[in-house]
Structure 1
Amino acid sequence: MAPKKHLSDFISEAKLIIKAHLLHFNILSLTFFFPLFLSLFLSSTLSHLFNYFFTNNSSTLLPPSQTTSPTFSLLYSLLSLFFSNCGVITITYSVFHFFHDQPVNLLSTIKSIGTSFLPLLATTIVSQLIFFSISLFYGLLLLLLIHGAKLLHLPLLPYSSPYIIGVFIALPLIVVQTYLEVNWTLVNAIVVVESCWGMEALRRSARLIKGMKGVALSSIFYYGFCAVILTWNIFFLTRGYNVSTESGFPAVLIWEMILLGSYFLSMITVSKIAVTTVLYIYCKTNVEIAEDFGKDYGTLLPSHDGDVSQVV
């Protein structure tokens, strides 16, 4: 049996693959993820420009509006979904083939989007519908408990702070969402590499990740922490400044922080996808070995005289 690996082992393997093909992954990162994070930091300015050119909500171009129009939010969400799915597909496809020393170029990588985009989109919709159904059921159950407690004149919680009550209410959903994310860690890789999607991909991910849930959970917290800290620092350092009105040294400094922050967030995302792909390869290989061993072991049956006979 192969020794059990930890998150650091998968990060090291993914890092070697990315480093060996750095230009390839940089191009994919700058194409699909960099624009998303850049538009995130410039969302206020972009929203105002959108309102100025496509609606009549703004009579002047500057300063940027503090409110985001629903149309802009919807458009941004659709573009984010498109670019993020394309990024996941191309990075997963590249890492999987580079891991097996198979030739990959940008053209073949981009072509993989055509075969995997709709299955990945459908699988994403299915997973979100499952979580939405769970959240809806939890909300209805919570309302039922609240009304029942009011009818019976029972105290709901021993705490009066709205923050503590909010934590108690949100905690079960956070636990459920984390549990689902851990079980569905390998879904994207499965959809891209294998010819399955939807519920089949979700079930297969939950099956393959058994025994490696600790690594999956560590990956979620590690990359989530890195992304949140970096994003918060960029927003904190650029607060009070306006990229469209600043000039001179402040403008250069703001743009430098935004561009570097967007690039590093893009590479963090690439690293996470690469680690997930390597984890998928490891889990798939070990499950297949275990299944083959089980089949071989099942062909060894004891004969009547106590000896072991091979069944062909």
Structure 2
Amino acid sequence: MATPSPPVNLWVVLSESKRIINAHSRHFLALSVIFLLPLCFSVTVYPSVFRLITDQSSASHNSVSLLRGLHNNNDDGDDIDTKTTVLLLIAYIVVVTVFNLLAIGSIAYSVFQGFYGRPVKLISAVKSSFASFLPLLATLTSSNFIVFGVFLILGILAFLFTKLIQIIPGLEFDYASPYFQAFTMVVTVISIAITIKLYVDWILAWVIVVVEAAWGLAPLKRSKSLVKGMKGVSLSIIVFFATTELVLVWISTVAASAQLDDDGGKLWTNAFFVLQIVITSAFLTLLTLYNLAATTVMYMYCKAVHGELAWEIAEEFAREYVSLPFDDGKVPHLVSVAYNNI
């Protein structure tokens, strides 16, 4: 009697991701250094740079105002502070977006190839990252517009509700009342729940863009279709990686803030701060690599659950594949999943 296949869960997805990454360790190390390390370094160091620049800028403007005795200069200082922070924020968003999309294009392609046991080449992965960049950007823009639209609708409904209460005779509306705070909390919880629901449905969209050459709204709809029956796995992946990455960034930010309070402008010469940035960036790079790999592996399992993978697996086994002595773990991998038909 055959042993039943284990159900797909977070551990199964992570184990398969680890198998693929270990089988091509040097390849994924190169991709991580090229694309993920700049991304994670920017995420880690941005809070410290932001605070350092704003603190030094404010101190400089205050000193000039005190020396000259011109209080009107404070307005100019505020304008410069605003311009500095806005330019820094724009530069941060651009860097994070570009390297994030390039990393998705290269790593998703590599994991997909490694899943079938195909040769994984660095040049092909880099080409895939640039070829997928604009479709990924279009898909990211589409998803952000939808999320923004949801928030806008909820905001308009909340605003209309408060105005309706204000025009009812005999009712007084106080923004400082506990009732308004409770109402705000309810709206916030609803917004977060809707956002999580959307990203649970869209978790495979980025892989679909790379693998299936789709873009825009099509990958979002395709992802929602594939995730049916696997939403628990999708949610667990999102919660696990979001929690670990946010905790890591929070710890790094708190440590950097403590050093900034002590050393001020000498922060970058502090050995502890530099070491903390290096360690945090390294761990965040590893987590991001496994996050992208796990999402791609889940895409394969979702296709298996929906019966789309059987023919592709048969085609892969029909091909001639030469296994070299150092190719342990690089053979085509057969997926077997247990699931309940709904």
Amino acid at match of 1:179: K
The answer to whether structure 1 residue 279 and structure 2 residue 298 are counterparts is: yes
Q: Is the 8 Å Cα contact of residues 300 and 309 (structure 2) preserved in structure 1? A: no
| Matched length | 281
Distance 1:47 1:31 in 2: 24
What is the CA deviation profile of residues 154-198 of structure 1, one whole-angstrom value per residue up to 9, with x for unaligned ones? 477996187644422211110110000000010011000002111
In structure 2, do the counterparts of structure 1 residues 48 and 212 end up closer, same or farther at CA, with 3 Å as the change threshold? closer
Q: Is the 8 Å Cα contact of residues 39 and 46 (structure 1) preserved in structure 2? A: no
In structure 2, do the counterparts of structure 1 residues 43 and 291 end up closer, same or farther at CA, with 3 Å as the change threshold? closer
Q: Residue in 2 aligned with 1:308?
A: none
The answer to whether structure 1 residue 184 and structure 2 residue 202 are counterparts is: yes
- Structure with larger RCO (C-alpha < 8 A, sep 6+): 2
Report the alpha carbon displacement of residue 252 of structure 1 after superposing the two structures with TM.
Answer: 1.8
| Structure 1 residues without counterparts, runs of 5 or longer | 60-64, 293-312
Provide the alpha-carbon RMSD of the alignment.
3.1
Distance 2:173 2:290 in 1: 44
Q: Is the 8 Å Cα contact of residues 37 and 262 (structure 1) preserved in structure 2? A: yes
Q: Residue in 1 aligned with 2:285?
A: 266
The answer to whether structure 1 residue 99 and structure 2 residue 120 are counterparts is: no
Q: How does 1:123-162 map to 2 (within 5 A)?
A: 123-152=139-168, 153-154=170-171, 160=178
Report the alpha carbon displacement of residue 49 of structure 1 after superposing the two structures with TM.
Answer: 9.5
In structure 2, do the counterparts of structure 1 residues 151 and 280 end up closer, same or farther at CA, with 3 Å as the change threshold? same
Report SS of the residue matched to 2:157.
helix
Distance 2:309 2:41 in 1: 45
Amino acid at match of 1:284: K
Q: Which moved more, 1:97-106 or 1:157-166?
A: 157-166
Report SS of the residue matched to 1:211.
coil
Report SS of the residue matched to 1:40.
helix
Q: Which moved more, 1:160-169 or 1:109-118?
A: 160-169
**232, 247, 252: which one pairs with 1:214?**
232
Distance 2:172 2:302 in 1: 48
In structure 2, do the counterparts of structure 1 residues 291 and 150 end up closer, same or farther at CA, with 3 Å as the change threshold? farther
Amino acid at match of 1:35: P
Report SS of the residue matched to 2:210.
helix
What is the CA deviation profile of residues 269-302 of structure 1, one whole-angstrom value per residue up to 9, with x for unaligned ones? 110110110000111123135999xxxxxxxxxx
| Structure 2 residues without counterparts, runs of 5 or longer | 62-79, 312-342
Report SS of the residue matched to 1:240.
helix
Q: Residue in 2 aligned with 1:300?
A: none
Amino acid at match of 1:172: I
**29, 33, 36: which one pairs with 1:30?**
33
Distance 1:24 1:80 in 2: 22
Q: Which moved more, 1:230-239 or 1:200-209?
A: 230-239
The answer to whether structure 1 residue 18 and structure 2 residue 21 are counterparts is: yes
Q: Residue in 1 aligned with 2:256?
A: 238
In structure 2, do the counterparts of structure 1 residues 160 and 87 end up closer, same or farther at CA, with 3 Å as the change threshold? same
Report SS of the residue matched to 1:238.
helix
Q: Which moved more, 1:122-131 or 1:20-29?
A: 20-29
Distance 2:244 2:95 in 1: 24
Q: Residue in 1 aligned with 2:193?
A: 175
Q: Residue in 1 aligned with 2:93?
A: 77
Distance 2:144 2:209 in 1: 16
Q: Is the 8 Å Cα contact of residues 44 and 66 (structure 1) preserved in structure 2? A: no
Q: Is the 8 Å Cα contact of residues 207 and 299 (structure 2) preserved in structure 1? A: yes
Distance 1:231 1:76 in 2: 15
Q: Is the 8 Å Cα contact of residues 183 and 213 (structure 1) preserved in structure 2? A: yes
TM-score normalised by structure 2 residue count: 0.74
In structure 2, do the counterparts of structure 1 residues 192 and 146 end up closer, same or farther at CA, with 3 Å as the change threshold? same
The answer to whether structure 1 residue 4 and structure 2 residue 7 are counterparts is: yes
Distance 2:268 2:242 in 1: 34
Percent identical across equivalent pairs? Answer: 32
Q: Residue in 2 aligned with 1:225?
A: 243
In structure 2, do the counterparts of structure 1 residues 229 and 162 end up closer, same or farther at CA, with 3 Å as the change threshold? farther
Q: Which moved more, 1:41-50 or 1:105-114?
A: 41-50
In structure 2, do the counterparts of structure 1 residues 102 and 247 end up closer, same or farther at CA, with 3 Å as the change threshold? closer
